[in-house]
């Protein structure tokens, strides 16, 4: 019999759960930067700075959202990029990804924002500003990133007096130190299939955001609970030791790999994952400790409904792409590490903790060292709802497992999965899952298809063209890898198909 659960000390409640305080009051005028001039939405010259200081001051006093192509490309700021970083406040995501620069002057504040942050890979132009103006107007807010805009939409739907429960350091540490990403089942290497049926889930993360652990109450901490006690909570996050058995479709992946039959392993898993493992025949050895939630909440539904309504209203592919990014970005923001990234002079940096910031000349591989390094500091005030982000991602992993398990049991051959899709060698045995509704699946049929690990090249049966899905091969330096993948496909097609439905 395990110890009875006790209330988890979680500190005070808070109304905000993120340090990104980029909430503008009056609307920020939109403008673009071409390397020499600040341009209006109509492409006219608004200002020509004579120094990098005058550029930052102008952006601040005019309260601009100024969009640039690449905040780390030195040639885009010939007046002095090192100086610009020294007189602004950077918004940094990762060791070398500059999202925006906040410019301030007395009571004025403006932003220089990287265009790709808003899914715009080309040089920012009139068309981009028109589309962004539409997006900001539709949602009623402006923000420096889609994730920030998505969070503002969520906050707008929460009662102003309602307080969010601050996750304890213990909960947050357990989640972030053991967080698993989306499920990826890799196919056999160099396998040519006569046909492949791919099923992409419609709005996967919004579908799994309908019910989550309640953000308004703290979980209960348990030491050595029994399985009965664990299953008595509506959900929970537990440190367990299991012994794996061989199954056609594994309920769990360890570091992306299928556990070996008879392997004993210890890890943190949600209640739903433990239940799936036990149903598949895994043996439970021990539950060391964990956190149980008594309630699920539909608190994200108004946010989901707002984004879905705007997505259905949109007729522009770019606007749709931004809204889809907003749907995914919020759970991702909940899972951000509790740290603040700031720039420190290179002379004061302490590698390897501080990552040297590199500038670009003309390409991602033509780099040179800046005068700055990215310094992380622990943010003890962070209130990121890490457990809610983790829960949403887990539910999508579980959804894929259930779909692939059921297809296999019905006699289908499962080829691969990737985050929010799975592929089989024959049509799905569950056509009732197909549709355009939230959480349903869209079918895409391929002819001859070569799969390698988590990538594939296949003949799209609808368009008659080759499709490639090659995560990690999207940037320019990977062009030769993509070409080699196509070449392997054509060579494989010259020989008889050895693995097919």
**What's the pLDDT tens digit per position in 129-179?**
999 999 999 999 999 999 999 988 998 888 766 677 777 889 988 999 999
**Partner residues linked to 375 by β-bridges:** 342
In a domain? residue 18: no
Could you give the number of structural domains in the chain? Answer: 1
pLDDT score recorded for residue 22 = 42
CA distance 218 to 172: 12
Domain that holds residue 94: 30-142+339-378
In a domain? residue 130: yes
Other beta carbons within 10 Å of 14: 12
In a domain? residue 69: yes
CB-based burial of residue 104 (10 Å sphere; 0-12 exposed, 13-18 middle, 19+ buried)?
middle
In total, the chain counts a number of residues equal to 501
Average of per-residue pLDDT values in the chain: 89
Candidates 163, 150, 441, 162; CA nearest to 306 is 150
In a domain? residue 57: yes
Whether residue 130 contacts residue 120, with contact meaning beta carbons closer than 8 Å, is answered with: no
DSSP conformational letter for 181? -
Q: Taken in order 198, 203, 204, 210, is the CA torsion positive or negative?
A: negative
Which stretch of DSSP H or E encloses residue 386? helix 386-409
- List pLDDT tens digits, range 450-494: 999 889 999 999 999 999 998 877 665 567 888 999 999 999 998
Mark the ranges of the chain whose per-residue pLDDT is less than 50: 1-24, 498-501
Instruction: Give ∠ CA 229-235-237 in degrees, rounded to 5.
Output: 85
In a domain? residue 49: yes
Candidates 107, 5, 18, 139; CA nearest to 388 is 18
pLDDT score recorded for residue 187 = 86
pTM here is 0.89
**Through-space distance between the first and last CA atoms of the chain, rounded to whole angstroms:** 50
DSSP 64-87: -EEEES-TTBGGG-TT-HHHHHHH
pLDDT score recorded for residue 497 = 56
In a domain? residue 240: no
In a domain? residue 361: yes
In a domain? residue 473: no
Whether residue 193 contacts residue 497, with contact meaning beta carbons closer than 8 Å, is answered with: yes
pLDDT score recorded for residue 10 = 39
């Amino acid at each position: 019999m395990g110890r009875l659960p006790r209330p988890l000390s979680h500190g005070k409640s808070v109304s905000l759960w993120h340090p990104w305080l980029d909430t503008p009051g009056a609307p920020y005028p939109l403008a673009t930067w071409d390397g020499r001039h600040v341009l209006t939405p109509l492409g006219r010259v608004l200002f020509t700075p004579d120094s990098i200081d005058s550029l930052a001051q102008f952006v601040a006093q005019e309260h601009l959202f100024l969009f640039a192509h690449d905040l780390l490309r030195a040639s885009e700021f010939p007046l002095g990029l090192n100086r610009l970083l020294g007189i602004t406040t950077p918004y940094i995501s990762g060791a070398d990804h500059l999202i925006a620069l906040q410019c301030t002057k007395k009571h004025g504040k403006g932003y220089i924002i990287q265009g790709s942050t808003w899914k715009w890979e080309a040089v920012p132009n009139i068309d981009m500003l028109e589309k962004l103006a539409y997006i900001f107007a539709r949602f009623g807010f402006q923000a420096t990133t889609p994730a920030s805009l998505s969070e503002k939409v969520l906050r707008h739907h929460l009662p102003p007096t309602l307080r969010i429960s601050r996750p304890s350091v213990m909960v947050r540490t357990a989640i972030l130190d053991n967080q698993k990403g989306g499920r990826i089942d890799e196919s056999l290497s160099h396998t040519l299939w006569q046909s492949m049926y791919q099923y992409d889930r419609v709005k996967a993360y919004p579908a799994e955001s309908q019910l989550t652990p309640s953000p308004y109450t703290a979980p209960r901490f348990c030491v050595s609970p029994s399985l009965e006690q664990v299953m008595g909570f509506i959900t929970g996050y537990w440190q367990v030791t299991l012994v794996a058995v061989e199954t056609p479709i594994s309920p769990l992946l360890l570091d992306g790999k299928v556990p070996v039959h008879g392997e004993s392993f210890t890890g943190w898993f949600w209640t739903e994952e433990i239940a799936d493992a036990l149903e598949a025949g895994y043996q439970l050895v021990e539950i060391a400790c964990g956190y149980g939630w008594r309630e699920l909440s539909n608190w994200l539904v108004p946010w989901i409904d707002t984004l879905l309504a705007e997505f259905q209203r949109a007729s522009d592919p770019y606007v749709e792409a931004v809204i889809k990014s907003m749907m995914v970005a919020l759970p991702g923001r909940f899972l951000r590490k509790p740290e603040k990234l700031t720039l420190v002079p290179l002379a004061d940096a302490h590698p390897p903790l501080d990552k040297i910031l590199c500038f670009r000349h003309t390409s991602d591989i033509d780099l040179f060292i800046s005068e700055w390094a990215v310094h992380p500091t622990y943010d003890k005030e962070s209130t990121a709802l890490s457990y809610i982000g983790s829960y949403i991602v887990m539910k999508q992993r579980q959804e894929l497992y259930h779909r692939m398990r059921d297809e296999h049991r019905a006699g289908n051959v499962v080829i691969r999965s990737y985050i929010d899709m799975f592929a089989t060698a024959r049509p799905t045995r569950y056509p009732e899952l197909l549709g355009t509704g939230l959480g349903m699946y869209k079918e895409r049929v391929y002819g001859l298809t070569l799969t390698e690990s988590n990538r594939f090249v296949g003949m799209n049966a609808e368009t008659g063209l080759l499709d490639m899905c090659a995560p990690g091969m999207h940037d320019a330096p990977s062009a030769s890898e993509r070409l080699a993948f196509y070449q392997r496909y054509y060579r494989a097609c010259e020989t008889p198909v050895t693995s097919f439905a």
